[in-house]
A and B are shown apart, each in its own frame.
Chain A
Amino acid sequence: MKKIIFILTITVVILSSSCKKDLNQVPISSETTSTFYQQPNDFIKAVNATYNSLRGYPDRLLFLSEVRSDNVYPTNDVGRDPDPINNFSLGIAPNVYVEEAWSANFVGVFRANTVLDQITKNGSFIGSPALATRLKAEARFLRAFFYLDLVKYFGKVPIIDHPVSALESNTIGRSSVSDVYNFIIADLQFAIANLPVNFSGPFPNYTASDVGRATKYAAEAILADVYMTRSGPTYGIEGPGLGLSEWNLALPLLQDIISSGLFVFNPNVYSFPVPATGIFSYSNQSPTANKEVIFDIMFLTGQNPILGTTFPWQLVPQAYFNGFPTGNPSLGGALGTPSVSTNLLNSYSTSPLDARKAPFLHTAPYNNLGALDLHAFYRKYLDTTKVPVSRFDWGINFIAVRYTDILMRKAECILHGAPGTQGDVDGIVNQVRARASQPAIANVTLAQLFDERRKEFAGEGSRWFDLERSGNLVTIMNAWRTVEDATLQKMSPIVPNFIIYPVPQSQLDAAPGLYIQNPGY
């Protein structure tokens, strides 16, 4: 009898111990972080997913830089999400665009960190150490890109250099802006040292199928932006400007891009519709053909799931599409009737006519709910023959780093005392003016340079950051508000605290006490 009990006991013990291993089930039909990252291709896919986090970048520039600046003044629409951004409302911490800027960039940071972490742990699966280094450089470039975006919008942010759990995330507060910059600079320096220069191989360098990935010059451009941004004034806040005078650090990077010979100033005069070889042409999309492009966020229409973009219509009033040929009913719903400001409209010379005005701005009245709407809006990226079936699926790339910008930044650095001559500056600015059918000017000042930038880069989302770097953001914005907002009086006076945005409400809620709200909100 005792024997039987003994045998039974043994059986149960053996059964239970052998079955316990069964509790560690792996998903049958999906990969997990513990099964993925074991093929060289897995790591490339992981880097691709990090690029995917760039997809919201153009829209973000429009809503948080363009709309915030003196370029846009929505006049006749109520309650849309960008209005509080434009009006300098205090309660914008829960605003969707503010929320998106924080979360989407940190999703990108997380994906970059996941790649870097997995290369450290499982890098041997990649096989080629050179490829591993390239992928690391891409991930670090992207991480720096996301962080620079974060600093520009929020100032201090948490430094996350590895994937963190929910628990750990609650222990990492915001770092000082200068620490964040150091983190960014280290990433970019690694990227510059290790990224390919072009797309002509051989593997593991980029081939034609890699067009769109970050190159050494893209990294140099971003690093130049870092130096220039933090050379801007502090305005007495913990924002992106640190008052460092690092123009001479930025200049060699810009110069290296220019002297690479890979990029060419497109001399075609702007016109509407955009000519096939134009900078913003739907048929001039390849970054290798469009020599203006140093770094593109790439989009393609007609894919499933959607890989197109929304930015071309984000600042086009929805009512404008109502008069459109049938077949695109889903287009309704662009954001009300955002208009460019009268101030911007009037900044373009009429005599001689600035060649940029017509292709950049739609000024003809359009039918808005039965009435004619006279407010002008951006049409820089709009091609009425390329309206997609879904409004989320426009098929045009966004030029994140543009050669004209590199040139004008060079001029800016020189005007700030970096090596170079007034002749270099005038040459650059007049080259841009000539393309716009504008007469040449001499002894270009910083103020003239920024005016030219405004007209050249209108609708591209650089205005807010330009104002900030110029040191005149508060004065220019308030002067503009006094005139433009005289009738409606919906805007609040602009104070330095408004240079950066509030920490999103969701973040304050998710970890109470961890982040302290930016002053002024």
Chain B
Amino acid sequence: MRLNVLLKKNLAIFLFFFGFFLSLQLSAQNPLTVTGKITDETGKGLGGVTISVRGTNNKTISDDGNYRIAGVKSNDVLVFSFVGYVEQVIPVKNQSVINVSLDISQKILSDVVVIGYGTQKKKGVTGSVSSFDARKLDERPVQRIDQALVGQLAGVTVKQTTGIPGKAFSVQIRGSGSISGGNEPLYVIDGFPLSVNSSNVSNGSFSTGNPLDNINPNDIESIEVLKDASAAAIYGSRASNGVVLITTKRGQAGKARINVNAYVGYNQAAKKLEMMNGDQWIAQAIEVINAQYLVAYPTASASDDYATRLARVGSLNANYIPDPRWTQPGHPGLRYIDWQDAIERKGMLQNYEVSASGGTEAVRYFLSGNYANQDGFVVGLNYKAYSMRANVEINASDKLKFGLNIAPTFSITQDPGIDGKDAIFHQALSLAPVQEDTMGLFPNTGKNFQYIWSSTTNSPMGKLTYNIGTTKRYRTLGSLYGDYQIIKGLNFRTSVNLDNTDNIGTTYVPYITTGISNILTNTNPRIFTGSNNLLASTSGTYRSYRRQTFVNENTLTYNRVIRKDHSINLLAGYSYNFDRFDQSAISSNGGYTSAVIQTLNAAAAVTGNTTSTKSVLISYFSRLLYGYKDKYFLSASIRRDGSSRFGINNQFGTFPSASLKWIVTEENFMNAIPVISDLKLRVSWGVNGNNNLPNDYASLATLGSYGYVLGTPAAVIGQAPNVLANPDLEWEKSKTYDIGLDFGVLKNRITGSFDYYNKLNTDLLLNVQVPAVTGFGSGLANIGSVRNIGEELELTSRNMVGKFQWSTTVNVTHNTNKIEALAPGQNQIIIPNGFTVSDAILRVGYPINSIYVLKVLGLLTAKDITDNMPRYNGTTEQPGDFKFQDINGDGVITEADKQIVGHPNPDWTYGITNTFRYKDFDLSCLVQGQAGGSIYSQLGRAISRPGQGRSDNHPASFVNRWYSESNPGEGRFGKAYSTYNNPITAATDWLYSSDYIRVRNITLGYNLSHLFQKKFVQNARVYFTLENFFGHDKYTNGLNPEAANTTVSTNGSYPEAGDYGAMPLAKSLIFGLNITF
């Protein structure tokens, strides 16, 4: 059998070389009639399948599985196609009986795909579009749509930047093209373009909301990602980062279908960062204390005991005197705490959804209600979401159609402040693992004192228990539309859409988790002494925002096939769009007056303000889709956008695109190469825009406050312009070329597509230097460019068919990112840093935010010192400190010795899905990963900086540090007591590869349908899922290589987000049930 296949393959190659001759020979033969039976994956006959002779109009449709087609030549190729099944392509080769088994498509249920402002037959799509099979969302428990996209589509990089449940992921399509304008795509739900969110650029979190917040993934029917410029160009000034089209489920005429989808499970931390344990921490504390003791008291000895030291120092100073209990057996009175274990738990997950759909020819409906409740794996974390959706479509007459989509949702997130610098998780890593036993897990909290050898940090457990951070979000998405057929083929459609989000965030920090309580200095701010006001250090905030996006769209479409061969689809449209954002912030001032009431009416005083912004976008657009003989396709579009966000001189911009597609296998000569069952070529070009300015009014000369002192004296208000107005300010532009190839070989057993793209972003919104005579050092202008070049491959192979089915889907993306130009004459911008000296750079010829630090060569030895090895900060470095590379050879290590050592974005991303089906069982496994990027860990500054001192904890590998010249350790960490590093420099000791590989999902399902009577239960399935259960990464002293939670750059024009203590991602085990009545 195998041999047979092999022979057939060889024959195919043979045919390929002698194709013309042979095909001429064969075509001379007589017509045949072919019959056969078509079955589905279960072996049942399949009616309604289209059987066509490729390259001709000869076709028929199967009836209950049997078919008969006449007028077939021996060298013809038969195509068997049916919605939802993989197309089969079989050469006739003199056979008169051809039986076919069709497989359920792994890719998509429909051969119609959603494109901007309409749908199109997949065959005719000329641009680069990736489709996501949303059926997987029913089979796999996900909390957010962006989570479902991880590892699924070539060219779409989804980063999970935080492990907090319910929080948005970061999505990037084809690399980062913008330095300051954000790189998140435009999301369009059921034709409604949501507002683009760019607020993630500075610290990686979506503090003013994300377009996918509260969207229930179970309502999603399909997701298409428009990747190249031609596909996305119809969205003009917002499309340069790609467009994600989301279609929600709607009802079909017929019997009502009730679907129940429920799952429960638990989640826990997917990774733990091993920190030093109590004994290891004590060992380094003693080492540092002895060193400090000898520096302060040069005549003392490290072997001095407690009493000697106490007498010499005069008081119990933790810097010079170790805790005597450390060396006593069993360390009485002390408790060893693994803080990660202390704050983590198994969190319960549950989700219940009921949906109903159905309808008549006149009215179709889809209704759903969903409840999700997810306890985070850290104490105090919780996410609850309630969502409802109603999609109703009414055929009022033959010509008139109305529809209404409405989706009210509500979510509550509880997060006392886990991720980020000095936030709880960071402190759980840093805090000393040795504490007073009497305080339990609550040192320096409430009436508990600080353990004096530990730091002044309040217990992370205390903060998780008593601090409150709640985000309540009520969001309603609504669309109302009407469609009227003016004449046959000509339709007018109008829609009104509103997206309203009301978000309220409150925080409350009681006095019991603030302040330092030191038993030695007898300060305890949390004990009432008769006159002190304990509540003075209680604080609270109330922040709210309302984001409204309103869109009215009006389109005319004309659809016609002329003289059989020419299909034409013409679109013209106009849209009006506004975004309004209102926010308010109130915070307590001077503490609280009540220990019970948490709302701000109990605050001693409050400060607050409100601000609002608004922007308007007006657009005209038009598109032509043209197909000739279902073989050649052309698409051309143009959009004209006017935006209030831009300078008065450049309010309107034009975004053209064009693309071509040739279905090569429709050509007769391809019949000679039957091994190639499908071959399509695509080329496209287009220009898109990015309108993410720093704010809605960036082109205007707003006023800032510049006070002065006059009079008695007193402060007086002064106001002057604080921005250099730029009436020419406009969008960033991206110009993309794309060449694509879709193919299927071996009777479509292997199908796939390959794309090469070259995307040049120009006119970047950058702050450029201007002569100071303008009154400003810099101004926002459209200047500079970034190029992304990449290749994408998507491949599906049906390895085994029949009773046991096995298919593999692979996607691989390679992207290179390079800054082509900054301002004229400018070669680089070093990104200013709020924590250390800078660690990232924008340099022409290198990727955005390249990591720019000193290179650590190893650790200094005594010989290095005598050899005058270049040292940092003059001569203060000693043996056991880092040896840096003196790249400019000037004999001293300075900022000028920094070099580019990596870049944040991965070069390669990939996802591999294997699916198995046997009888009623199904098993799928998604493996996903990335390679080639680096992470510069700001967390390193907290837990592994040179000279960190005795109290904060280090990673467990710190035990392999430098101890002495003869015991230099493994070289990664220098000595425990070091004094040179002030200010802290940025060097490669905090540089890690961001490569990782994760088994994102393993799902085992069992189809229960046969247990029920078909009349009552149409479908039933139970499943187990392991989500994110296995994986490996190279971020050895951090938890999530994709983490972003802290603003690193101090200049908003050059954002840089970093990881300063991210919690790990969650892994979960879930049991689910899905029944359709």
A binds B: yes
Chain A interfacial positions (CB closer than 8 Å to B): 1, 4-5, 8, 11-12, 15-16, 19-20, 22-34, 36, 42, 45-55, 78, 102-103, 106-107, 109-111, 114, 158, 160, 163-166, 169-170, 172, 208-213, 285-286, 298-300, 303, 305, 307, 504, 506-507, 509-512, 514
* Shortest 3 CB-CB contacts between residues of A and residues of B: A110-B775, A49-B718, A48-B718
Cβ–Cβ contact B771 & A510, under 8 A: yes
Residues from 582 to 614 in B contacting A, C-beta threshold 8 Å: 610-614
Q: What is the CA–CA distance of A51 and B610 in the complex, to the nearest angstrom? A: 29
Min CB–CB distance A148 → chain B (angstroms):
16
The residues of A that contact B874 with a CB separation of less than 8 Å are 78
Q: How far is the CA of A508 from the CA of B234 in the complex (A)?
A: 43
* B644 CB contacts on chain A under 8 angstroms: 22-25
- Assess the B713–A106 pair: CB atoms within 8 A: no
Stretch at the interface among B454-462, B465-473, B704-712, B965-973: B704-712
In the complex, chain B residues whose CB is within 8 Å of the CB of A111: 706, 720, 775
CB-based contact A106/B772 at 8 Å: yes
Contact (Cβ within 8 A) A166 B777? no
B652: nearest chain-A partner, CB-CB: A23
Q: Tell me which residues across on chain A come within 8 A of B556, comparing CB atoms.
A: 8
B45 at the A interface (CB under 8 A): no
- Closest residue of A by beta carbon distance from B780: A166
User: Across the interface, do A298 and B713 meet the contact criterion of CB distance under 8 Å?
Assistant: yes
Question: Once the chains bind, are A298 and B708 in contact (CB under 8 Å)?
Answer: yes
B residues whose Cβ falls under 8 Å from a Cβ of A: 486-487, 492, 552, 554, 556, 574, 576, 578, 610-616, 618, 620, 642-644, 648, 651, 696-697, 700-703, 705-721, 724-726, 769-777, 779, 781, 824-826, 874
Q: Are B710 and A211 in contact (CB under 8 A)?
A: yes
Flag if B710 contacts A8 (CB, 8 Å). Answer: no
Q: Contact at A51–B718, with CB atoms within 8 Å?
A: yes
Q: Please determine whether A22 and B774 come into contact, CB atoms closer than 8 angstroms.
A: no
A118 to chain B, nearest CB (A): 10
State the CA gap A142–B696 with chains docked (Å). 34
Cβ contacts under 8 Å, B651 to chain A:
23
Q: Is the CB of B718 within 8 A of A165?
A: no
- Chain B residues near A514: list those with CB within 8 A: 771
Contact B492 A8 (CB under 8 A): yes
Further 20 A-B residue pairs, CB within 8 A, beyond A23-B643, A52-B708, A307-B707: A15-B574, A19-B618, A22-B578, A22-B616, A26-B697, A27-B697, A28-B611, A30-B697, A33-B703, A45-B716, A45-B718, A48-B706, A48-B716, A48-B718, A165-B774, A166-B771, A166-B779, A210-B710, A210-B711, A211-B713
Tell me how far the C-beta of A210 lies from the nearest C-beta in chain B, rounded to whole angstroms: 6
Chain B residues near A106 (CB-CB < 8 A): 772-775
- With both chains docked as a complex, state the minimum distance between the C-beta of B287 and any C-beta of chain A, in angstroms: 24
A504 CB contacts on chain B under 8 angstroms: 772
Interface centre among A15, A28, A47, by most B CB within 10 Å?
A: A28
Q: Which residues of A contact B708 (CB under 8 A)?
A: 48-49, 51-52, 54-55, 212, 298, 307
How many Å from the CB of A209 to the closest CB on chain B? 4
Whether the Cβ atoms of B697 and A509 lie closer than 8 Å is: no
Contact yes or no, B709 A300, CB < 8 A: yes
Bound form: Cα–Cα A161–B726 in Å: 20
Known contacts A25-B614, A28-B611; is-contact A169 B771 (Cβ 8 Å)? yes
Q: What chain B residues lie within 8 Å of A20 (beta carbons)?
A: 618, 642
Contact between B709 and A16, CB atoms less than 8 A apart: no
Report yes or no: A300 in contact with B713, Cβ–Cβ below 8 A.
yes
With contact pairs A15-B574, A49-B708, A303-B707 given, residues A25 and B616 touching in the complex (Cβ less than 8 Å)? yes
CB distance from A149 to the nearest CB of B (A): 14
Question: Measured between alpha carbons, how far is A169 from B613 in the docked complex, in Å?
Answer: 31
Residues of A within 8 A of B719 (CB): 31, 36, 42, 45-46, 48-49
Contact B713–A1 (Cβ < 8 Å): no
Task: Specify which chain A residues have a CB less than 8 angstroms from the CB of B774 in the assembled complex.
Answer: 106, 110, 163-166, 169
| Complex CA–CA separation, A8 to B769 (angstroms) | 49
Q: Residues of A contacting B487 with CB < 8 Å?
A: 1
B614/A33 in contact, CB under 8 A? no
Report whether A511 and B614 are in contact in the complex, using a CB–CB cutoff of 8 Å: no
Question: Chain A's nearest CB lies how many Å from the CB of B126?
Answer: 27
In the complex, what residues of A have CB within 8 A of residue B552's CB? 15
B718 partner, pick from A50, A102, A110, A285, beta carbons under 8 A: A50
Contacts of A102 in B (CB 8 A): 772
Interchain CA distance A496-B239 in the complex, whole Å: 59
Residues from chain B with a CB closer than 8 A to the CB of A53 are 706
Q: In the complex the two chains form, is B724's CB within 8 Å of A166's CB?
A: yes
| 18 A-B contacts (beta carbon < 8 Å) | A5-B486, A16-B620, A23-B643, A32-B701, A48-B710, A52-B720, A103-B777, A106-B772, A106-B773, A110-B775, A111-B706, A164-B773, A166-B770, A212-B709, A285-B713, A307-B715, A504-B772, A512-B825
Query: Are A49 and B706 within 8 A (Cβ)?
Result: yes
- Give the residues in chain A near B610, CB-CB below 8 Å: 29
Contact at A30–B702, with CB atoms within 8 Å?
A: yes
Bound-state CA distance A22–B643 (Å) is 9
> With a CB–CB cut-off of 8 A, which chain A residues contact B716?
45, 48
Q: Determine the chain A residues whose CB is within 8 A of the CB of B721 once the complex forms.
A: 33, 114
- List, in ascending order, chain A residues with CB within 8 A of B706's CB: 48-49, 52-53, 111
Query: Nearest chain-B residue to A27 (Cβ)?
Result: B697
> Which B residues are in CB contact (< 8 Å) with A19?
576, 616, 618
Query: Do A27 and B613 contact each other (CB < 8 Å), given the known contacts A48-B717, A50-B720?
Result: yes
- Determine the chain B residues whose CB is within 8 A of the CB of A307 once the complex forms: 707-709, 715
User: In the complex, which residues of chain B have a beta carbon less than 8 angstroms from the beta carbon of A50?
Assistant: 718, 720
Our pick among B702, B726, B773, B775 for the contact of A27 (Cβ within 8 Å) is B702
Which residue of A102, A110, A213 has the most chain B CB atoms within 10 A of its CB atom? Answer: A110
User: What residues of chain B lie closer than 8 Å to A1, measured between beta carbons?
Assistant: 486-487
